[in-house]
């Protein structure tokens, strides 16, 4: 497969083999998040955003496996580095404080392992004063450990603040913070004392033009400030363990907040010495054109959670925020997945060495410009930061039809929120690939607006 010339090619979707594979999978798999019928063939050709499914269809993947494959398929720099190493057996061992050397010396071995991944993460978060990492398996575990260390740090504090539209994971603690879809939390027990505030939905708003309710009036200040006010507030700052925020909301609909919203959260947290957790699981590690989504705003997080592109979960904070008492946080596989840690470290190296942050900014602007200039009649609010791009369609029905129409042309996209489409191409996506995707998407939008034979049941990854 030649990345410079390959184009999407779809005969039928889903094909006969995909139907059989999915049927076999579902016989033993517990029901989970619905997905369209894409069955990636790991034994066939794939490069950059292009991959092949089990029926031989060539697809242009603008989902990056929900941002967890930041360099797409078979990035040559990453592939060459991985191919250099003979992996040990076992490649997973027990935990953060079970040690294994991956070469010598420990600060620069030939093969980067968990310790070197943590080195890289503290370098990337040094501007926020963060110097300590706990590795885990997933983003949800990174969130769980973040809230645990915050509760521990403010001993006795029992309250927390999240935001409407938030999504932080599917473990019980993380679910308690979610405010995006009722199906995530319904009938599950929750952590008590979690309050939800409006999340900004207009990146240009000020206190005087706020439409989400975070600033009820310019004179009264924000709801967050009012909740903690010593005179009229109903929440004692000493009882508030943390505020958790996505710098840009993902699952909730790709909401990009205003500068004033972010600055107010930071100001209030500083004023009351409240710990601020930035959930960077989707926004972090170059996706927005900066290393962290927080870099675009006034956020100065005390804790950053990372995963997806990192290949492991990571809770990053200051030494004084983590518990001193041994055993307060631990995990069998936390810090013990040599291969995943090596992948994560090499992904960070590749992003830096290939200067991909600049490419992310340029290609993201190109994609947004293409969509805005075409100005499809029923598409609104084309938005984004870097290669975290979204657009709104009139309804969920039209969104689903558009995703299906794009699939039939060989373009993989994702839904989010109630009626938004998100586009997450690999960070090394090329100008040609962005133009290809834009052409396919605009044709799909046109067909879906007239329901041009794209019926069926287009369930989407959300």
Please check whether residues 343 and 365 belong to one and the same domain. no
- Residue 366: give the domain boundaries: 16-61+355-449
- Report if residue 234 sits inside a domain: yes
C-alpha torsion 322→327→328→332, nearest 10? 90
Given this model, what pLDDT does residue 36 score? 80
Given this model, what pLDDT does residue 457 score? 43
Please check whether residues 303 and 370 belong to one and the same domain. no
Please check whether residues 342 and 441 belong to one and the same domain. no
- Report if residue 129 sits inside a domain: yes
Please check whether residues 340 and 359 belong to one and the same domain. no
Question: Hey, what are 387's tokens?
Answer: 């290669």
C-alpha–C-alpha distance, residues 169 and 251, integer Å: 10
Given this model, what pLDDT does residue 451 score? 63
CB 390 within 8 A of CB 422: yes
Please check whether residues 336 and 400 belong to one and the same domain. no
C-alpha–C-alpha distance, residues 423 and 254, integer Å: 10
- pLDDT, one tens digit per residue, over 212-261 is 999 998 788 999 999 999 888 999 999 999 999 999 999 999 999 999 99
Please check whether residues 407 and 300 belong to one and the same domain. no
178 Cβ neighbours under 8 A, 6+ residues apart: 162, 166, 167, 168, 169, 184, 185
- Phi, psi (rounded to 5 degrees) for 58: -100, 125
Please check whether residues 305 and 387 belong to one and the same domain. no
- Report if residue 1 sits inside a domain: no
Question: Hey, what are 384's tokens?
Answer: 């984004």
C-alpha–C-alpha distance, residues 154 and 277, integer Å: 14
Last residue of a domain, one of 322, 353, 384: 353
Number of compact structural domains in the chain:
2
Q: What is the mean pLDDT of each run of 10 residues along the chain (462 residues)?
A: 97 93 93 86 97 97 96 95 84 78 91 94 98 96 97 95 97 96 91 97 95 90 94 93 98 96 98 97 98 98 97 97 93 84 96 97 98 94 98 96 96 95 98 98 92 44 39
Please check whether residues 290 and 395 belong to one and the same domain. no
What's the CATH code of the domain at 124?
3.40.640.10
Last residue of a domain, one of 353, 372, 392: 353
- Report if residue 212 sits inside a domain: yes
C-alpha–C-alpha distance, residues 117 and 115, integer Å: 5
- Report if residue 297 sits inside a domain: yes
Please check whether residues 150 and 247 belong to one and the same domain. yes
Pick the closest to residue 276 from 244, 298, 306 (CA basis).
244
H or E element, residue 145: helix 139-153
Please check whether residues 315 and 366 belong to one and the same domain. no
The number of C-alpha atoms within 13 Å of 390 and in the hemisphere containing its C-beta is 25
* Residue showing tokens 């016989």: 27
Question: Hey, what are 62's tokens?
Answer: 């603008």
What's the CATH code of the domain at 388?
3.90.1150.10
- Report if residue 93 sits inside a domain: no
CA geometry: angle 62, 67, 71, nearest 5 deg: 75
H or E element, residue 161: strand 159-163
CB 400 within 8 A of CB 34: no
Last residue of a domain, one of 353, 377, 393: 353
Kindly list the distances between the CA atom of residue 439 and the CA atoms of 210, 431, 434, 445, in Å, as whole numbers in the listed order: 36, 12, 9, 10
* Residue showing tokens 């989902």: 63
Please check whether residues 173 and 253 belong to one and the same domain. yes
C-alpha–C-alpha distance, residues 91 and 102, integer Å: 11
- Report if residue 4 sits inside a domain: no
Q: What is the DSSP string of 359-428?
A: HHHHHHHHHHHHHHHH--TT-EEEEEETTEEEEE-SSHHHHHHHHHHHHHTTEE-EEETTTEEEE---TT
C-alpha–C-alpha distance, residues 406 and 215, integer Å: 39
Say how many residues make up the chain.
462
C-alpha–C-alpha distance, residues 457 and 85, integer Å: 44
C-alpha–C-alpha distance, residues 384 and 254, integer Å: 8
Please check whether residues 135 and 186 belong to one and the same domain. yes
């Amino acid at each position: 497969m030649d990345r410079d010339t390959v184009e999407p090619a779809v005969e039928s979707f889903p094909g006969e083999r995909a139907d059989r594979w999915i049927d076999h999978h579902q016989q033993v798999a517990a029901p989970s998040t619905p997905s369209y019928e894409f069955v990636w063939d790991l034994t066939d050709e794939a490069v950059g955003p292009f991959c092949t499914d089990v029926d031989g269809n060539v697809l242009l993947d603008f989902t990056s496996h929900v941002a967890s494959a930041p360099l797409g398929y078979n990035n040559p720099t990453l592939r060459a580095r991985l191919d250099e190493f003979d992996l040990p057996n076992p490649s997973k061992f027990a935990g953060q404080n079970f040690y294994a050397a991956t070469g010598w010396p420990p600060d620069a071995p030939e093969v980067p392992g968990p310790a070197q991944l943590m080195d890289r993460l503290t370098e990337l978060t040094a501007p926020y004063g963060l110097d300590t990492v706990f590795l885990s398996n997933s983003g949800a575990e990174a969130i769980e450990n973040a809230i645990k260390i915050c509760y521990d740090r403010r001993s006795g504090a029992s309250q927390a603040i999240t935001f409407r539209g938030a999504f932080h994971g599917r473990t019980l603690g993380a679910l308690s913070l979610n405010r995006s879809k009722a199906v995530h939390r319904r009938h599950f027990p929750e952590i008590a004392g979690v309050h939800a505030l409006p999340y900004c939905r207009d990146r240009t708003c000020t206190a005087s033009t706020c439409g989400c309710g975070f600033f009820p009036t310019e004179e009264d200040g924000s709801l967050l400030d009012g909740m903690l006010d010593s005179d009229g507030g109903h929440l004692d700052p000493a009882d508030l363990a943390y505020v958790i925020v996505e710098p840009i909301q993902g699952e909730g609909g790709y909401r990009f907040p205003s500068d004033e919203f972010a600055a107010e959260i930071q100001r209030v947290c500083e004023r009351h010495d409240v710990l601020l957790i930035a959930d960077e699981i989707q926004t972090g590690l170059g996706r927005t054109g900066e290393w962290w989504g927080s870099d675009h705003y006034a956020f100065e997080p005390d804790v950053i959670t990372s995963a997806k592109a990192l290949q492991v979960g990571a809770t990053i904070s200051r030494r004084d925020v983590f518990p001193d008492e041994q055993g307060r946080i631990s995990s069998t596989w936390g810090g013990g997945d040599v291969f995943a840690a090596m992948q994560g470290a090499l992904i960070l190296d590749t992003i830096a060495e290939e200067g991909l942050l600049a490419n992310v900014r340029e290609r993201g602007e190109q994609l947004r410009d293409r969509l805005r200039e075409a100005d499809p009649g029923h598409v609104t609010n084309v938005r984004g930061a870097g290669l975290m791009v979204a657009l709104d369609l009139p309804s969920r029905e039209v969104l689903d039809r558009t995703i299906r129409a794009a699939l039939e042309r060989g373009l993989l996209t994702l839904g989010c929120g109630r009626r938004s489409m998100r586009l997450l191409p690999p960070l090394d996506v090329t100008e040609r690939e962005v133009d290809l995707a834009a052409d396919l998407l605009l044709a799909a939008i046109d067909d879906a607006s007239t329901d041009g034979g794209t019926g069926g049941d287009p369930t989407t990854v959300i």
